[in-house]
Amino acid sequence: MLYYYKEGFIMRKVFVLFLLILSAIFLLEATSLAATVGNPIDLDIPIRSAILRQKAIDEALDESEGFMIKTSLDLEFVFDKNLHVNPDLQSAEMEGQWTMFKIGTTIFNRVEPYIKLGTSELEVKWRQGAGGPDQVEVEADSGFAWGWGIKGVIWDFEDPWDVRLTGDFQYRTTEPDVSTASLNKTTISNSGADFKVDEWQASLVLSKKFELPLKWQNIYIVPYTGMSVSESKVAVSFTNPSMQGADYSLFDASNDSKIGFILGCDIMPSLRDSFIYSMELRLVNELALTLGGTMKF
């Protein structure tokens, strides 16, 4: 009974720490940032430990079964994603949130194909028109989103580094209905608005596993960092019925910057735990935060 009480106490401390980190990030971003869309890598646990109990950690965290099922839930908060548009448009950006459920199978602990299903809640803004351009805002309803990808271990670097190089490629799309469209803060009536987003991303990341000793038990953390190359196609358009011939469109906007930087961390509270908690921050080509959890079966 005392053991389970202590284990529950440790879990509560980890959860509180997780919430404090999240709150700090939101307070910093709220002072100067807008919003964006990102794609988490959700790394698998690397095969080696940097500190203690090498054999126990390998056996508990890095199973050698031929096939293993993994499910994940990711909440992606968008803070700033600038879009590249034609010269007739200005200051285009997208913001919002994705909620994605992922299921994948790890094959011989080296390759992981997966699919994603979930929802999107997105909004785009831009300025359009000569002279005094109109401020255009289009907000979409919560819409169905889906995607697929494949992740694989490229190389495990042995002593003295004990780090893992992992590659990931994924695609995601959503086509929600438009909730509201406005010009210069005035909502317009339109039944023919279109809103579709397609995204591709390829990433390379380096990760390293550590054991963090605590009073009652140890926590295992896997920080990782890397680079990504990504592209988007954002197709949003509508007409203004009160102005004949007035069409507003992003003309298939793309990413303003193709190269991104990734910084994240996976956390396993104990060797007996089937859950892995994760937090990931994406910078440069976008500013986005992902909070997630993964369960192994």
Determine phi and psi for 63, rounding to 5 degrees: -65, 150
CB-hemisphere CA count at 13 Å for 152?
A: 9
Alpha carbon 261 to its chain's center: 12
- Cα-based torsion angle of the residue sequence 212, 213, 214, 219 in order, rounded to the nearest 10 degrees: 40
Question: In tens digits, what is the pLDDT along the chain, a chain of 297 residues?
Answer: 434 444 444 444 444 444 444 444 333 333 333 322 233 334 444 444 333 344 444 544 444 455 678 899 999 998 889 999 988 899 999 999 999 999 999 888 789 999 999 999 999 999 998 766 889 999 999 999 999 999 999 998 988 888 999 999 999 999 999 999 998 898 987 667 899 999 999 999 999 988 888 777 788 889 999 999 999 999 999 988 877 767 889 989 999 999 999 999 998 886 566 788 999 999 998 999 999 998 876
In the prediction, which pLDDT does 48 show?
A: 43
Radius of gyration of the chain (CA): 22
Cβ neighbors of 239 (< 8 A, separation 6 or more) are 190, 192, 246, 247, 248
Paired with 228 in beta bridges are 203, 260
Distance CA 282, CA 263 (A): 6
Domain 2-296, architecture per CATH: Beta Barrel (2.40)
Q: What is the pLDDT of residue 15?
A: 43
- Residue from 97, 92, 82 nearest 125 by CA: 92
pLDDT for the residue numbered 271: 59
**What is the CA 216 to chain-centroid distance, rounded?**
33
Q: Give the residue extent of every domain in the chain.
A: 2-296
